[in-house]
Amino acid sequence: MFGINRIAYEDVQHYRRFLMTTFRHFGAGRESFENKVAAESEILRLEVSKLQGKNTDLHLFLNSATTNVICSVVYGRHYEYDDTQFIHLMDLVDRFLVTSGEGGSENTFPIFASLFPSKAKRELNAIQATIREYLSNIIEEHRENFDSERINDFVDAYLREQSLQSDSVADVHSFVHDENMRGHLFTLFLASGHTTAVTIYWGILYLLANPDIQSSLQSELDSVVGRTRFPRISDKVNLPYTHAVIQEIYRMSSPVPLSLLHVVSDDTTIGPYSVPKGATVVSNIWAIHRDPQLWKDPDEFRPERFIESPDNVSEVIPFSVGRRKCPVEALAQAMVFLFLTHLLHQFKFVNHEGSSQLSLHGEFGTVYKPVAFLACALERSLDDYKKDD
Ligand code: HEM
């Protein structure tokens, strides 16, 4: 679906190693990355401040912030939040993720997809073509200015890998082949900013619906971080309640509920079931997160469960498990933590219709996103801190 062709299994592993090493270099754990997210959080704070507490759907703001961090790591570009090309791109990714999760007869009878492409399939092809053309231009710009001594972003690192493996560039089975490079960048574009933004969006929704939990989290932030600086990753260990709330957001929302489809490479068995080579496997992360055998009152948003039973954290698997789990989990977790704590440190989120009126249902797609909702972001005044304390 993503235009990545016939890559040999060893090359999939090679690409994954390359992706993880490169993102470790530019990403999570690096001070430069934290500073990048902190700078973007500050832009987000100023944009939200401009709303002056008006009831607003914050999704586009969150998506702009997370996508900007990814664009900067992947190809070194930052966009204004009202940039029309940027908004169009985010909208295309949004539509792709909703439409690609709709399924239909093509999933059961894949041959239909090529013989009689449905309206959804045609839309996916059109979106893919537009985004790939956009990415091709970015690759070409990078190629023109490429300097192997100055690797500034992921695309530069990919071009350097192409030059190191010049013998393989013409091989369509290799991850350094141009077409596969475009496909991988496309996947990265789909998998990254939107998933992270949707997680934060769910977080705001659950905290609107549970004002007491929001206020306890803010009290913890105020006493540990104080009011003279913003939260940092190093604060995480001293914020057990905030950590528990974030785990509960991951558990309740399952932003990628059915993970990605996998194909079995050899005949195997899972428990009492035989699974033949070539079968498509879907992992139901959602079902694990709501399994009554693992969780007491699984449909209740109750962060305290992780304070009472800290071991339960290992059952929270929004990034999936195993060798194909999300390759940049640490970076995504860092973004969710920093953006969410920064916003909650600065704003109190309220809903004028009353928390009981909020729908906690989502729209099904590859990424599970809340039904659009409005929130007022009120700047936290000194009185708030005192009251929360
Ligand atoms: C909260 C945010 C995120 C969640 C919940 C999430 C979750 C997931 C899940 C469940 C998968 C499928 C794993 C599997 O196939 O078993 C996945 C794959 C992937 N994710 Fe993430 N992800 C997030 C953020 C990100 C970010 C920020 C990036 C990039 C910077 C990213 C890049 C990828 C890539 C490239 C894959 C495909 C890996 C492959 O094909 O082997 N994800 N993610």
With a 6 Å cutoff on the Cβ, whether 187 touches ligand 1 is: yes
Helix intervals (H) in 27-118: 31-49, 59-75, 84-100, 105-108, 111-115
With a 6 Å cutoff on the Cβ, whether 257 touches ligand 1 is: no
Looking at residue 1, its pLDDT comes to 46
Instruction: Confirm whether pTM is higher than 0.85.
Output: yes
Looking at residue 31, its pLDDT comes to 83
Q: What is the CATH number of domain 9-388?
A: 1.10.630.10
With a 6 Å cutoff on the Cβ, whether 347 touches ligand 1 is: no
Helix axes 31-49, 59-75, angle to 10 degrees: 150
Q: Whose CA is nearest to atom 26 of ligand 1?
A: 192
Helix axes 193-209, 59-75, angle to 10 degrees: 150
Looking at residue 32, its pLDDT comes to 86
Contact 346, 45 (CB under 8 A): yes
Pocket perturbation via mutation, ligand 1, pick of 71, 155, 288, 326 by most ligand atoms within 8 A of CB: 326
What tokens were used for 198?
A: 């949707």
Domain residue extents for the chain: 9-388
Using the 8-state DSSP alphabet, how is residue 238 labeled?
G
Determine the straight-line distance between the first and last CA of the chain, rounded to whole angstroms.
52
∠ CA(194), CA(264), CA(326), 5° rounding? 25
Looking at residue 7, its pLDDT comes to 58
Q: How far apart are CA 155 and CA 41, in angstroms?
A: 24
Looking at residue 104, its pLDDT comes to 52
pLDDT along the chain (389 residues), means of 10: 56 87 83 92 96 94 97 95 95 89 57 67 90 94 94 95 88 88 90 95 97 97 95 96 98 95 91 93 95 96 95 93 91 96 97 79 91 94 57
